[in-house]
Amino acid sequence: MHYCGDTLVDAAIFEKIGILRVYNLSELSRQFNQETGDTMNKYKEKRE
């Protein structure tokens, strides 16, 4: 998991904003991981 800024502050924000924000963050994280995976696969293909 990639955290931006202070995780304690993030946790407090999650409590205030609620589950929608947590869902959005997990969705962004999933997309980020997908993009990173695609980039790594392309890099590996170039090296072979």
Q: How many CB atoms are located within 10 Å of the residue 10 CB?
A: 15
| DSSP codes of every residue in 7-34 | HHHHHHHHHHH-HHHHHHHHHHHHHHHH
Amino acid 16: pLDDT? 75
| Residue 42: predicted pLDDT | 84
Q: Which sign, positive or negative, has the C-alpha torsion 28, 29, 35, 38? A: negative
- Rounded CA-CA distance 44/48 in Å is 6
pLDDT at 22 (0 to 100): 66
The pLDDT of residue 4 is: 54
Phi-psi region of 4 (alpha: psi -120 to 50; beta: other; left: phi over 0): beta
- Domain residue ranges in the chain: 7-47
The model's pLDDT over 1-46, given as tens digits with 9 standing for 90+, comes to 455 556 666 777 767 777 666 677 777 788 888 888 888 888 888 8
